[in-house]
Amino acid sequence: MLKLYDFALSPSPRRVRVFAAEKGIPLALISVNVREMAQFSDSFRAISPNCTVPVLELEDGRRLCDSLAIWRYLEEIHPEPPLLGTDAFDRGIVEEWIRRIELEGYQAVAEALRNGVERFRDRAVPGTVPFAQIPELAVRGRKRTALFMEMLDRRLRDSEFVAGRRFTGADIHALVTIDFAAAACQIAPPDTLAALKTWHAKVSARPSAKA
Ligand SMILES: N[C@@H](CCC(=O)N[C@@H](CS)C(=O)NCC(=O)O)C(=O)O
């Protein structure tokens, strides 16, 4: 079975668990407690040189150390249901939305969290190199997170799912980002963003959301 080095409270491994659940791919989960700095142990450093989760380990021992790279692999080995697009143009649209969510949403929340709480002092960027916090980035990250939610709400007024008429990886990335903003930064979409809230309730009700 495929192994996933995971941490239940972290958004990046959740992206992989939800994606695999949508496809019905079983994963053997191995928890790496990043709250207790287990990612910096010698044993995990040998598995993930950047000391981050998730890591997917194949049965032959090869590894992938990035959530979206793991998506690509899972989509190739298990094409149904397609989560990264169905034809050339659709794959482009899904990719476009995944990148927007990563850059405008996920990075904004991560910046707000990692520059704003004591736990990440001198660890403002994930990985092995220490970076001091920049408090202004926490303020900017919160503002960008709010703008991201407004942008997504506008999109969802016209589109059933983030990348169009089908549920895709873009919905998973957006769901994980919205939940991360609430859990880590206490930023929830205001009631005025009705399309975003309706979509969030719909995708949260999928069994995969609990993976
Ligand atoms: N680009 C990577 C990011 C992975 C990442 O930043 N993982 C975080 C958890 S969400 C982590 O391992 N953090 C360890 C730390 O903060 O030291 C991916 O999407 O897989």
Give tens-digit pLDDT for 7-42: 999 999 999 999 999 999 999 999 999 999 999 999
Residue nearest to atom 17 of ligand 1 (CA): 126
In a domain, 8, yes or no: yes
pLDDT of residue 36: 96
43 sits in which H/E element = helix 42-47
Last residue of a domain, one of 16, 47, 77: 77
Domain match, 101 and 192 both = yes
CATH label of the domain that carries residue 112:
1.20.1050.10
Name the token pair of 173.
């990335």
Per-residue pLDDT of the chain (211 residues; tens, 9 = 90+): 999 999 999 999 999 999 999 999 999 999 999 999 999 999 999 999 999 999 999 999 999 999 999 999 999 999 999 999 999 999 999 999 999 999 999 999 999 999 999 999 999 999 999 999 999 999 999 999 999 999 999 999 999 999 999 999 999 999 999 999 999 999 999 999 999 999 999 999 999 999 9
pLDDT of residue 95: 98
Domain match, 188 and 168 both = yes
pLDDT of residue 68: 98
In a domain, 98, yes or no: yes
Domain match, 70 and 102 both = no
pLDDT of residue 116: 96
pLDDT of residue 198: 98
pLDDT of residue 85: 98
11 Cβ inside 6 Å of ligand 1: yes
Choose the residue to mutate in 7, 10, 125, 128 for probing ligand 1, maximizing ligand atoms within 8 Å of C-beta.
Answer: 10
Instruction: Quote the ligand 1 centre to 169 CA distance (angstroms).
Output: 18
pLDDT of residue 124: 97
Structural domain span for residue 22: 2-77
CATH label of the domain that carries residue 30:
3.40.30.10
55 Cβ inside 6 Å of ligand 1: no
Give Rg (Cα) of the chain.
17
85 and 75 Cβ atoms separated by less than 8 Å? no
Least Cα distance to 94 among 163, 149, 142 occurs for 163
User: CA of 8: how far to CAs of 34, 45, 58, in Å?
Assistant: 10, 19, 20
Residue 12 CA, closest ligand 1 atom number: 10
Number of structural domains (the chain) is 2
Instruction: Quote the ligand 1 centre to 67 CA distance (angstroms).
Output: 9
Least Cα distance to 203 among 152, 167, 169, 177 occurs for 167
